[in-house]
């Protein structure tokens, strides 16, 4: 049973004029219906030649908010964050610092908390209601998932230096807590436990995005879940070698920090060609499946961290899931081929 929330902070609730017709784009319209009707009437009059067209822009009322935005009650904010897995069991002093400057937003049904493409400067925790995450694709909205009470939104964007990868829209009236990214960064700088949790979240989101891509479209959800579970964390020291020319191996790795350099053996009198695999990209080696050794040296120029599906684990999964054996044939369509059986590509934009 859900634990009851503390009472919301008292404040003056501002109203909004509803727009009953959905706007054609993700960003919600702030123009009231009566104003829209007046504009349409003027356009009809203008078309019929009854009056001169108006060149002045629409006057927008200054007191028409999309949603209520007030300073968050610290008790409500701390309780909300304590329901998020990443922030559970943090010291009270850390939670108090984290919620300083937090805002409490009341989002009416159908309104947007944030819009795809916005700059990511904060993250959110759902206190009441449901937020639908969606993206624009080929001129239409694509629903990604729903975030309910006790779930966080927008954390990934803070640490991947990206704009919002999706939009968040209220399903029914919602209440969320907005926490500045600067507060979280300050806490991460001195809290090793929280730092480790954020790194794990970053890794999980990258793998989820990778496995949800078209490369694994022919593999059922159970197999994808098992694949994610078999990835392990690996720290690679500066100049450590992952593979030497002539080796035969199967490997899938997602770079979570640092980079990998793939160096092709140089011809006499020529400099070797190199390729770099950076954070958010993957490296796939299938030379053992094809029985063809690699011609590349793969190493980390500086300290790096990877999520790795090793040769042993991948081979075991090949036995249980024969569809994985077609990876060498599918990879050229979704990745750059750097050698006969070495590929790299982009993991994809993770969800929030």
- Please give the domain boundaries of the chain with CATH numbers for all domains: 63-190 (2.60.120.10), 210-346 (2.60.120.10)
What single-letter DSSP state applies at residue 150? T
Helix (H, G, I), strand (E, B) or coil at 111: coil
| Distances 342 to 179, 252, 268, 283 between C-alpha atoms, Å | 42, 10, 23, 7
Q: Decide if 309 contacts 227 (C-beta within 8 A).
A: yes
Which residue, 162, 167, 150, is CA-closest to 113?
Answer: 167
Q: What is the pLDDT of residue 349?
A: 60
Q: What is the pLDDT of residue 21?
A: 29
Q: Decide if 338 contacts 344 (C-beta within 8 A).
A: yes
Which residue, 242, 251, 339, is CA-closest to 295?
Answer: 339
- The length of the chain is 352
Q: Decide if 114 contacts 154 (C-beta within 8 A).
A: yes
Write the CB contacts of 129 (distance below 8 Å, at least 6 apart in sequence): 107, 148, 149, 170, 171, 172, 173, 174, 175
Q: What is the pLDDT of residue 161?
A: 57
Q: Decide if 326 contacts 295 (C-beta within 8 A).
A: no
pLDDT along the chain (352 residues), means of 10: 44 30 31 44 50 38 62 92 89 90 94 88 94 85 86 80 82 94 88 83 82 81 84 93 89 92 82 88 89 88 93 87 85 89 82 52
């Amino acid at each position: 049973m859900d634990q009851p929330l503390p009472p919301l902070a008292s404040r003056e609730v501002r109203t909004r004029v509803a727009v009953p017709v959905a706007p054609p784009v993700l960003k919600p319209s702030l123009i009231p219906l009566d104003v829209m009707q007046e504009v349409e009437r003027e356009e009809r009059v203008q078309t019929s030649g009854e009056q001169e067209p108006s060149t002045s822009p629409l006057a927008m009322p200054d007191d028409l908010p999309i949603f209520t935005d007030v300073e968050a009650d610290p008790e409500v904010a701390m309780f909300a964050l304590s329901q998020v897995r990443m922030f559970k069991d943090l010291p009270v002093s850390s939670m108090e610092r984290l919620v300083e400057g937090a805002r409490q937003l009341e989002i009416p049904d159908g309104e947007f908390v944030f819009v795809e493409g916005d700059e990511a400067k904060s993250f959110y925790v759902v206190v009441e209601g449901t937020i639908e995450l969606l993206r624009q694709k080929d001129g239409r909205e694509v629903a990604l998932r729903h975030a309910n009470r006790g779930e966080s939104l927008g954390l990934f964007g803070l640490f991947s230096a990206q704009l919002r990868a999706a939009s968040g829209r209220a399903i029914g009236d919602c209440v969320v807590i907005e926490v500045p990214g600067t507060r979280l960064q300050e806490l991460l700088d001195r809290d090793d436990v929280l730092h480790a949790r954020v790194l794990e979240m970053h890794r999980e989101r990258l793998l989820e995005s990778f496995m949800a891509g078209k490369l694994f479209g022919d593999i059922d959800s159970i197999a994808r879940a098992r694949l994610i579970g078999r990835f392990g964390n690996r720290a690679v020291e500066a100049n450590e070698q992952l593979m030497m020319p002539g080796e035969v191996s199967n490997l899938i790795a997602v770079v979570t920090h640092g980079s990998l350099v793939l160096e092709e053996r140089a011809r006499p009198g020529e400099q070797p060609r190199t390729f770099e695999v950076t954070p958010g990209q993957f490296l796939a080696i299938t030379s053992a499946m094809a029985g063809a050794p690699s011609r590349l040296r793969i190493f980390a120029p500086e300290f790096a961290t990877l999520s790795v599906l090793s040769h042993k684990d991948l081979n075991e999964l090949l036995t249980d899931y024969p569809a994985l054996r077609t990876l060498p044939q599918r990879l050229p369509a979704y990745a750059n081929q750097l050698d006969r059986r070495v590929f790299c590509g982009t993991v994809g934009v993770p969800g929030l």
